Amino acid sequence: MPSKRSKKETPPRRKTRKHSVVPNFVIITGLSGSGMSSATNAFEDLGYFCVDNLPLTMLSTFARLMLPNDEDKQAIEKAALVINIRERHFLLEFPAELEKLAMEQSRPYVIFFEASDDVLRRRFSETRRPHPAEKGRGLLPSIRSERRAMGHIREMADLIIDTSDLTVHTLRRLLIQKFSHAAEEGSLKVQIVSFGHKYGNPRDVDLMFDVRHLPNPYFELALRDLTGENAKIVKYLTKHKDVQETILRFTGLIEYLLPFYQKEGKSYLTLGIGCTGGRHRSVMVANALRDTLKKDGFNVSVVHRDMQK
C-alpha cells in the first residue's frame, strides 16, 4: 500500500456540499468491500456513464468532457467514476487532483463508502477475494490499515455512506432515491426503516420510535411465524387501542415535523421503527405510517430490515 501523506502535505479539509440538484459528476471511493461495485451498478441504472478504476492521470482530461463546449453541449452529461486504493497513486495524489479540478470549475461530488471491520471481514471471507492492502499480515489488519490510510480521503467526501446494514438491494434503492432526477424537484423523501433492537439500531436514522410497549404477536403460537405484513398480524394488532393510539400519536408528530424539515431544505429523512425482533410490530406500524403519510402527499418508502430474520 502507498504510504500516507504527511500531515504537512495533506491539503486542508474540503468543505462538503449538500446537493440541491442531482450532481452530474460523481466520484465513488471508499474502503474495499464496502459496496462500490454495487453503487456503480445503481448509477448505471440512473443513466450515468460509469468508469471503474480510472487512472488519476486521466481525471482532469475526463473532467473536461463534462464541461460545455462552444456549442454549449457536453461530450458526457453524467458520469460516475470509481477511484480507490487499487489505483497505486491514489492516496498520495487524489487530494491534489481534486483541488486542481476545483480550480478548473469542475468539482465532482465525492461519495465515500465504508462499513464496519466485522462486516468487511465477513464479505471478503465469503467471496474469498484477496484484500488489496494485504501484505501478509492477515485480513483484519489489512482492513484496519486501509481504514487508517483512507482517513484523509474520507474527510474530503461530500457524502459518507455506511453499508454495514445494507444489502445490495437496499443500497441500490438508497442511491436511486438520493440521485434520481426526482430529487431536483426539492421534495422531501422519507424512508421508514423497521428493525429489531436485538440486531442493533440502524445507522443514519434521523428520528427513532420504539414500539416494544405494544402487544407482541410472537407470543401467539398461531401468529409467531407470520410477519407484520400479514393480514392476521394487522388484524391482531389493530384491535388493541394502544396500537391505534400509538400510530395516531406517531403520525401526528411526524406530520407536524415534516414541514419544518422541508422548510430547512432537507432532502431526505429516515425514520426508524423498532420492536424486539423487527418481524411483527415494527413492520405493521411502519406500513401504517407509510400509508398515512402517502395519503398526505409525502414521498415515502419503507424498508423492513429484519423482517425475514
Q: Where are the domains of the chain?
A: 25-184, 188-304
pLDDT in tens, 174-186: 888 788 764 444 5
In the chain, alpha helices (H): 36-45, 59-64, 90-103, 117-127, 139-149, 151-154, 168-179, 231-238, 241-263, 281-295
What CA–CA distance (Å, rounded) separates 36 from 169? 13
Would you tell me how many other CB atoms lie within 10 Å of the CB of residue 206? 14
The C-alpha cell at 245 is 393510539
What CA–CA distance (Å, rounded) separates 55 from 8? 25
The pLDDT value given to residue 21: 66
Query: If 0-12 CB within 10 Å is exposed, 13-18 middle and 19+ buried, where does residue 160 land?
Result: middle
Taking 80 as the threshold, does the pLDDT of residue 65 lie above it?
A: yes
Pairing of strands 79-82, 49-52: parallel
Query: What is each CA distance from 207 to 150, 193, 250, 275, in whole angstroms?
Result: 30, 10, 11, 15
* Max CA distance (Å), the chain: 71
- What does pTM read for this prediction? 0.61
Residue, of 170 and 251, whose pLDDT is higher: 251
The C-alpha cell at 276 is 424486539
Residues 28, 113: contact at Cβ < 8 Å?
Answer: yes
Q: How confident is the model at residue 69 (pLDDT cuts 50, 70, 90)?
A: low
CATH of domain 25-184: 3.40.50.300
H or E stretch covering 269? strand 268-275
